[in-house]
Amino acid sequence: MPPPEQYATVLHGLGLVDLHVRMQVFGFELPDTAELVEWTRGTLLTGYRGQLEPEQYEAFEAEYRQRLLAELGDRRPYYYPFKRILVHARRPAG
């Protein structure tokens, strides 16, 4: 994810004014690390599901789960700090 200042620079370059760009972290406490895969099914993984055949997607998700758990370990509970860039800007009058 690019930093907020990069978003502001791009939007300014497009001619927008009154820029307000910030990052906010939304914290989610999940029962365990494996639950993060379930959580990302409704966000990150939906795009992959739409592009892959069902068998391919199942293999992809299994590999994703394995790598994610290897990287994060098995934590109970697992705190997921979900970052979002929030932007407000407007076109100049005239």
pLDDT of 1 > 90? The answer is: no
pLDDT of 94 > 90? The answer is: no
Is the separation of the CB atoms in 90 and 19 below 8 Å? Answer: no
Expressed as residue numbers, the domain containing 49 is 4-90
Helices then strands, counting H and E runs in the chain, come out as 4, 2
| 2-56 pLDDT, tens digit each | 999 999 999 999 999 999 999 999 999 999 999 999 999 998 999 999 999 999 9
Report the domain count for the chain.
Answer: 1
End-to-end Cα distance, the chain: 33
- CA dist 24 and 30 (Å) reads 19
- CA dist 6 and 46 (Å) reads 26
